[in-house]
Chain A
Amino acid sequence: MTETETKTTKLTGAQIFLECLKKEGVDKIFGYPGGVILSIYEALYNQSDITHYLVRHEQAAIHAAEGYARVTGKAGVALVTSGPGATNAITGIANAYYDGYPLVVFTGQVGVNQIGNDAFQEADIIGITRPCCKHNYLVKEVKDLSRIIKEAFHIATTGKPGPVVVDMPKDILSASTDFVWPDCVKLPGYNPNYNGHPKQISKALELLCEAERPVILAGGGIIASDAMAELKQLADKLNIPVTNTLMAKGAFPETDERSLGMLGMHGNFWANHAVTNCDVLFAIGTRFNDRITGCLKRFAKDAQIIHVDIDPCSINKNVKIDIPIIGDAKNVMKAMLEEFNSNNYEINYEVKQSWREQINEWKKRRPSIEQHSDKLSAITVIRKIYEFTKDMNPIFTTEVGQHQMWAAQIIKADKPRRFITSGGLGTMGFGFPAAMGACIGSPDKVVINIAGDGSIQMNIQELATCVQYKLPVINVIINNGYLGMVRQWQEKLFHKHYSQTKISGPDFVKVAEAYGAKGFRVTKEEEIIPVLQQAIECRQPVFIDFVVEECEMVYPWVLAGNPINKILMSNDCPIN
């Protein structure tokens, strides 16, 4: 194979690094300097093509890059130093891996000759990241650097997206060579299959047309492959209700009449019942996480299951699949639509209509809202925020815990890339830095991080980053003085022994002010909207401390390991 390559003059590894980023269209990176990557920071100095955002902790750099990737659809890029810089990045890398978002994470490494000698700030980051990234590279020669970077971006953004780590030793960055940008990527061991098998597609379509009680289960893969329009058309044409996972909020408009909203552990009563009782389940771009399936034996037990996924590993991993289709969600659904339009598939609209009526019956079951005291209700706070900002097309991020589930239940996402949350890894401390990345990726949008008083303290230092770069992230702190989700489990499952879950925090208003941000405290319902309005209008980083009732619990609730139609709807429900 002949290769036409673009040749220029000799550059150092550090300069090549920047040139490669430019070739990949990267103009924003998140990072933190350190000894071994100083030559890159030297190259970054006095140039304006790439903006570097200095975070206050490497974990936040990776989450911010992921937030950026999630709102823009492009690969997020982060740069950290060797040793502790790189080990601090691990949680972020793992988070992007489990949720399937594209990142290229560059780590510094000690000089090639020092590797293995326990040098200062040395860590075997290739070994450490191997199980939590899509692929990783140690650059051993400067001439390989540009090829590796090109491959890294290719791997991160194609197939099932994910993080790729590139470990760059110090001496590689200072060595010089001709800068050669390869024209193509040659990875014989990597050929993601984008087009589903036509036979499987027709089989699936036939099954869906014949189905009497079908349900579509939309996963995050739909957002990754930008298949929202195809999903909507398919659901409309075949008259099939759609439930979505947490990662797929916005994959199908949640205010649509066919939407069942979220399913799973804290999913809607009707969504869980629809999936349990369906005769055909059409799952797209999901890996059937245990938070979705509950007890596997009872999950969609009478259903034939069709599963579209670009990652063959997702198929038959947790749930036995009847019709697997390995391919990209968009391509597969497009092919289904074409097939449906060109052949005379008959669908029994009436039968499907009666199924929808059954679902409408289930839709009447909603968890009762309980008034515990005259303190604010977290549910009310989040509902008011959602209703007030609905027309502004805001981006919501969340941390992890009760507030996350309430946000997922209350906020109806109609568009993709507007609800950003840590689903797979469940990383507390994700939401705030992700919101910064979202803010940088979508500077014209209102960005609101729904946080708990526990989670926000995990990356609270990023307030300094927000102030420095004037990022108007609004942090809504649902402050109940507890690690609420753990407390909730302790309340029902551990005899109300609130072991180590009462957590104190600082005065969030004062913290905000100390950092040079704006702080508000809300204790009464009537203050919610006026304060929110001020927060949005000031275009500054904001903490709003919502002092809420501590006893509130997230319902519906399916206890771990139970079938998803065994749902607790209120505190009064016995757990057996």
Chain B
Amino acid sequence: MNNNNNNNNKNHVISVMVKDEAGIVSRVSGLFSGRGYSIESITAAQTSEKGYARITIETSGGDADVIEQITKQLNRLIPVLKVVDLGDVESIERELILCKVVAKDEDRSEILRIAEIFGAEIIDVTPRTYTLQAVGDERQIRSLIELLRPIGIRELVRSGKVGITRANQFSNTKSAE
């Protein structure tokens, strides 16, 4: 996974409101693989409305035309209700990571300091490791990982991005004109 993309094809986070039915994630992800679009991360969970779920997909490497096609193709799926490219609207994106780092005696205070700067919590401690939980936007998460890397990352688990629009902007419905 390479997040150092240039401006032309930066990662896009696409939020998809779907009917919560069997096989829906596979329908959506199958569209990506079948048409050669990349998936950097994908999350899916129920929403506040019963019977509906939200799938958030981070895709990379696509220029504006590809993103337009992805959006249209997603809209074409029958159980898809709404598609929003969060890059197009004012939105907030977050990702949660769990990161297990090697906690040598001489590094422990440094780990704690980094955690404090990033508002990360130490959620587990063993004689040799600290496990951090951090939430942040892409830049914050990237910086945190970069700082922890030299200390020694044992394991890194990322939730994938989720995002939400700021105002009542989830209204980009099926018409694409």
Contacts and interface: CB of A to CB of B under 8 A. Distances in A.
A312 B69 CA distance: 9
Given A127-B26, A130-B27, A313-B73, A189 B177 contact: no
B175 A326 contact: yes
Contacts, number: 56
Interface in B127-177: 174-177
Contact of B76 (A138, A200, A311, A316): A311
B77 interface: yes
B158 to A, nearest CB: 27
Contact of A312 (B72, B79, B81): B72
B23 A131 contact: no
A317 B69 contact: yes
A43 interface: no
Interface string B14-55: 000011001100110011001000000000000000000000
A316 B78 contact: no
Nearest to B19: A189
A188 B69 contact: no
Given A131-B34, A313-B69, A189 B176 contact: no
A187 B78 contact: yes
Contacts of A193: 174-175, 177
A134 B78 CA distance: 8
A313 B76 contact: yes
B78 A313 contact: no
Given A131-B34, A200-B177, A324-B177, A316 B69 contact: yes
Contacts of A126: 23
A9 interface: no
B68 interface: yes
Interface in A285-342: 311-313, 315-317, 324-326
A117 interface: no
A188 B30 contact: no
Contacts of B65: 316
Contacts of A113: none
A189 B27 contact: no
Interface in A173-208: 187-191, 193, 197, 200
A326 B177 CA distance: 7
A439 interface: no
A187 B77 CA distance: 11
Nearest to B173: A191
Of A127, A135, A313, A316, the most chain B CB neighbours within 10 A belong to A313
A326 B173 CA distance: 14
B60 interface: no
Interface in A207-261: none
A381 interface: no
A140 B34 CA distance: 26
A290 to B, nearest CB: 16
B57 interface: no
Contacts of B19: 188-189
A313 B22 CA distance: 25
A155 interface: yes
B102 interface: no
Given A197-B177, A316-B65, A316-B68, 5 more contacts: A127-B26, A188-B81, A189-B19, A193-B174, A311-B76
Q: Which 6 A-B residue pairs are closest in the complex by CB-CB distance?
A: A312-B176, A135-B78, A313-B72, A189-B81, A131-B34, A312-B72
23 contacts: A130-B26, A130-B27, A131-B31, A131-B34, A135-B78, A138-B22, A140-B22, A188-B81, A189-B78, A189-B80, A197-B177, A311-B76, A312-B75, A312-B176, A312-B177, A313-B73, A313-B76, A315-B72, A315-B176, A316-B65, A316-B68, A326-B175, A326-B176
